[in-house]
Amino acid sequence: MQDFRDLKVWQKSHQLTLQIYQHTRNFPKEELYGITSQIRRAS
C-alpha cells in the first residue's frame, strides 16, 4: 500500500499550503486573527 505522502496531489497541495503560510507571514499583525487566519484555514 502506498503512503499518502507519495501521492503527487498531496505533495502539490502541501507545497501550496507552505507557500500560503510563507506569504501570510508578511501580513500586518493586526490581521493575524482576521484575514490571515481565514486564508490559512482555507489552505
Residue 29 in contact with residue 23, Cβ under 8 Å?
A: no
Q: Return the pLDDT at 30.
A: 85
Task: Kindly give the confidence (pLDDT) of every residue in the chain, 43 residues in length, as a single tens digit, with 9 standing for 90 and above.
Answer: 689 999 999 999 999 999 999 999 998 988 888 998 999 999 8
Question: Does the pTM exceed 0.75?
Answer: no
Cα distance between residue 4 and residue 19, in whole Å: 20
Percentage helix, strand, coil for the chain under 3-state DSSP, each rounded to 5: 70, 0, 30
Sign for the pseudo-dihedral over CA of 31, 34, 37, 38? negative
The CA distances from residue 33 to 11, 24, 41, in Å, are 27, 12, 11
Q: Return the pLDDT at 32.
A: 82
Q: Return the pLDDT at 39.
A: 92
Domain boundaries, the chain: 4-42
